[in-house]
Amino acid sequence: MTRLSVNINKIATIRNARGGNMPDVEKAARDCETFGAEGITVHPRPDERHIRYSDVRAIRPGVKTEFNIEGNPIPSFRDLVLEVVPDQVTLVPDSHDAITSNQGWDTIANREFLTHICKLFKDKGIRTSIFIDPVPEMAEGAKACGCDRVELYTAGYAELFPENPEKAIRPYLETALRVKELGLGLNAGHDLNLDNLGYFVKTIPWTDEVSIGHAIICDALYMGLERTIQAYLAEIKKF
């Protein structure tokens, strides 16, 4: 069964826009779990424009499901992960000024670096996942780096889905099959929502985890956070 990890970055974005502690990010993480989320994801960036390093430290003790930290493994990020020791770390090659993640790793060109990072975190007992584009060769490169899972960058799928779902899923299915052959775990994330999530999970049912944040918070403005999380879980569990 595919697990739902809720990315709470956007909750921190709202808080930071006004200052103070409203909404309370720590409480939001606990509430997401109470409402059924099977994991909490955070993606701290160096400028701390949403989740702050201090948030990561504060949230960690209260997470009872699974804690996933995403980010570019720059030195400060590496130190934070080794200090906090999440259940999973997802390596994302986003630049410091990226609005949001916009590409996966070239696991072939960056093999030496990623191999070192994977070993660093795995030696600490942290499951490692590498964020990749839907290209089978990138999955093969990730396997060579020694990671446990890959996360497919699903923005391209989400963009094409309304026009042609079969065409949209094709490169993801091809890559996911290769991931399965390689013996790696499979995660997915970016722009997944209530419209396209079910088709993705139905087509690639061995997806271990989906990480969703922006769409959940957008839907929660109308449906409320509890109903929204329950709706996403129901969409996954249809299949």
Can you tell me which residue has the tokens 């960058």? 153
**Rounded distance between C-alpha atoms, residue 148 and residue 151, angstroms:** 10
| Contact (CB, 8 A) for 85 and 125 | yes
Active site residue 214: no
3-state SS class at 132? strand
How many C-alpha atoms does 237 have within 13 Å on its Cβ side?
A: 11
| Contact (CB, 8 A) for 190 and 225 | no
**Rounded distance between C-alpha atoms, residue 23 and residue 26, angstroms:** 9
Cβ atoms < 10 Å from Cβ of 205: 12
**Rounded distance between C-alpha atoms, residue 148 and residue 88, angstroms:** 10
Q: Fill in the amino acid letter for 19.
A: G
Helix axis angle for 75-84 and 111-122, nearest 10°, is 20
Q: Fill in the amino acid letter for 44.
A: P
Catalytic entry in 43, 50, 151, 209 = 43
**Rounded distance between C-alpha atoms, residue 107 and residue 150, angstroms:** 11
Active site residue 70: yes
Catalytic entry in 33, 66, 70, 209 = 70
DSSP letter at 41 equals E
Report the chain's terminal Cα–Cα distance, integer Å: 9
Catalytic residue positions, numbered: 43, 70, 190
